[in-house]
């Protein structure tokens, strides 16, 4: 994640106050490939918030992360947050045609087309952060109470279901 001055820290604090666990890659361990721990964190996330800033599209690391997040998009909800950058600017960042650039361009185009939040300095940043946090809370609650096709989709409840099933199958001694 490209680090935005103030905004990122404020958003993380607001999410933490709502007991929402956040994951940010460690900028000290950056390289050109997404680490296995980051891929696991992306796959385990119910929501991925991508904070796009002015320098986001010029960071190879951020673009690799974006490709990884969008690859896992089927597993989670992706919420873009455009911080002082217009979504249409992201689509126009690359002119070359290498395979890696094509992957990044496709990722930026796809992310810029998603419905998200756009900060333009018109209103207080804290107001937008509260709106983003409330949106995330709403999505998490919707996911939590979404009807499931079968019990295998419910994480951590299988042993409880088996326990209840065993209690229900107790035969009477009449």
The catalytically annotated residue of 9, 36, 54, 65 is 65
Residue 31, both tokens: 């390289």
Q: How far apart are CA 108 and CA 92, in angstroms?
A: 9
The β-bridge relationship of strands 77-83 and 47-52 is: parallel
Whether 65 is a known active-site residue: answer: yes
User: Which active-site residues does the annotation give?
Assistant: 65
């Amino acid at each position: 994640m490209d680090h935005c001055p103030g905004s990122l820290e404020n958003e993380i604090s607001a999410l933490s106050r709502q007991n929402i666990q956040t994951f940010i890659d460690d900028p000290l361990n950056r390289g050109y490939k997404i680490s296995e721990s980051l891929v696991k964190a992306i796959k385990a996330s119910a929501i991925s918030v991508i904070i796009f800033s002015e320098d986001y599209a010029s960071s190879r690391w951020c673009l690799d992360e974006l490709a990884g997040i969008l690859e896992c998009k089927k597993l989670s909800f992706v919420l873009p947050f455009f911080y002082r950058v217009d979504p249409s600017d992201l689509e126009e960042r690359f002119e070359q045609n290498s395979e890696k650039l094509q992957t990044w361009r496709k990722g930026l185009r796809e992310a810029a087309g998603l419905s998200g939040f756009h900060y333009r300095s018109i209103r207080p940043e804290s107001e937008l952060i509260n709106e983003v946090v409330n949106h995330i809370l709403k999505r998490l609650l919707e996911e939590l109470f979404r009807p499931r096709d079968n019990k295998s989709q419910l994480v951590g409840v299988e042993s409880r279901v088996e326990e209840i099933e065993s209690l229900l199958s107790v035969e009477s001694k009449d």
